[in-house]
Amino acid sequence: MENIFLMPQKVISGANVINSLGEHIKGKGKKALIVTDSFMVKSGNVNKVVDALKKDGIQYVIYDGANTEPTDKIVDAGLAVYKKEKCDFIIALGGGSPMDTAKAIGFMSVASGKLRDYMHKSIDMPVPYLVAIPTTAGTGSEATKNTIIADTETEVKMLLGGPSIIPSLAVIDPTFTLTIPPQITAATGIDALTHCIEAYTSRKAQPLSDIFARSAVKKIYRNLLDCYKDGSDVEARLRVSEGALEAGIAFNNSSVTIVHGMSRPIGALFHIAHGVSNAVLLPACLEFAVEGNIERFAEIGRLMKVADRHTPDEEAAHAMVEAVTKFCKDLEIPTLAELGVDKDTFMAELDKMADDALDSGSPQNTMRVPTKEQIIEIYKKLF
């Protein structure tokens, strides 16, 4: 079996490393399109990037239209700015939406046709240099080969991907995460924890993805609660940010499993943020998945230090599930009811959600592959 491993060409990390951005992108382009959202402008985060560019005489223009989950129209608008302003490289600043938008603008600046033409294709072409600066510690998009863009004509969420989409430079600076409120810190952090757990327990796991997944589990589990309780803890923020990057690298190469497969339909139908829907599902999905992969879940339990090398695998695996369940409670992850989801409406959508989850292909990466009926039963446990 051939394993292929992909990750950013370069990563810089540490508090205030944004100040040295110019040094790392010299020669990569003359004028940057900064792809971001309006909050990043208002919060002053964009100014930190701009100051770094000015210091090294690098020109820029700001596109702050990535304010919602990205659509083809948002990408087209950003692409128009890129071309009009004669930019030659891209800097993405923000959460998943700016990242996904920037990736799509990058390859569409050299591609022909429409975005939908690249569904089910591997995007592998020379593209503009892409810098990714995450402001949340969760999506791992700064390290992945995929972007999700909604087609406004067909109302389909397009999963587009390929080697060209992976950012060339990932900038992991925890100072960008200091203003994130506790509930978003929790949701994005659990998203990252889900990434590394699923990467390590996936059928597609490979030796190199395992290394990053294991490291990410330790960093996120040991530091996320500290970030939640004290948002100004820069050291804890750095560790979780590094963990989110590592988790992104891991699942970029081994894929995700049942949690993500079941999470997407909840997000699409009930407009719940991706990290939150993952967190709501995580305990119930782990309870299901653990029986098909005891050894791997046991190892995660040992990484989390809720078991040791003397603990029998069965006991260690279930201790891990219990610990993650408690972790979600400590982070005050809301229930679907608390999020305002109507139980009857939710139950009426079970059949569609189960079909959509299976159609995504992610649940099939779980060692214990769920049936449609089993997915429906897991959904029911959320109320």
Q: Report yes or no on 291 lying in a domain.
A: yes
How much is the mean pLDDT over the chain? 95
- Residue 19 φ then ψ, to 5°: -65, -20
Q: Are residues 346 and 242 both part of a single domain?
A: yes
Determine what percent of the chain is predicted with pLDDT higher than 90.
90
Query: How far is it, in rounded angstroms, from Cα 363 to Cα 158?
Result: 18
Q: Are 353 and 270 in contact (CB under 8 A)?
A: no
Q: What is the pLDDT of residue 314?
A: 98
Q: What is the pLDDT of residue 69?
A: 84
Q: Are residues 110 and 202 both part of a single domain?
A: no
Q: Are residues 77 and 219 both part of a single domain?
A: no
Q: Are residues 155 and 265 both part of a single domain?
A: no
pLDDT digits (tens, 9 = 90+) for 96-151: 899 999 999 999 999 999 999 998 899 999 999 999 999 999 999 999 999 989 88
pLDDT digits (tens, 9 = 90+) for 223-278: 999 999 999 999 999 999 999 999 999 999 999 999 999 998 998 889 888 889 99
Q: Report yes or no on 245 lying in a domain.
A: yes
Q: Report yes or no on 345 lying in a domain.
A: yes
Residue that finishes a domain, picked among 126, 146, 177: 177
Residue that finishes a domain, picked among 177, 204, 239: 177
Residue that finishes a domain, picked among 117, 149, 177: 177
Q: What is the pLDDT of residue 273?
A: 84
What's 136's domain CATH number?
A: 3.40.50.1970
Q: Are residues 95 and 155 both part of a single domain?
A: yes
Q: Report yes or no on 2 lying in a domain.
A: no
Q: Report yes or no on 151 lying in a domain.
A: yes
Q: How many domains does the chain have?
A: 2
Q: Report yes or no on 3 lying in a domain.
A: no
Q: Are residues 199 and 151 both part of a single domain?
A: no
Q: Determine the structural domain holding residue 48 and report its residue range.
A: 10-177
Q: Are residues 127 and 235 both part of a single domain?
A: no
pLDDT digits (tens, 9 = 90+) for 291-350: 999 999 999 999 999 999 999 999 999 999 999 999 999 999 999 999 999 999 999 999
Q: Are residues 163 and 192 both part of a single domain?
A: no
What type of residue sits at position 37?
A: D
Q: Are residues 171 and 23 both part of a single domain?
A: yes
How many other C-beta atoms can be found within 10 angstroms of the C-beta atom of residue 375? 24
- Residue 371 φ then ψ, to 5°: -85, 170
Q: Are residues 60 and 204 both part of a single domain?
A: no
Query: How far is it, in rounded angstroms, from Cα 253 to Cα 302?
Result: 23
- The SS3 call for residue 238 is helix
Q: What is the pLDDT of residue 230?
A: 96
Beta carbons within 8 Å of 2's beta carbon, 6+ residues apart: none
Q: Are residues 147 and 214 both part of a single domain?
A: no
Structure tokens at 8: 């950013």
What's 303's domain CATH number?
A: 1.20.1090.10
pLDDT digits (tens, 9 = 90+) for 194-208: 999 999 999 999 999
Q: Are residues 359 and 215 both part of a single domain?
A: yes
Q: Could you write out the DSSP letters of every residue in 256-285? A: --HHHHHHHHHHHHH---HHHHHHHHHHHH
Q: Report yes or no on 4 lying in a domain.
A: no
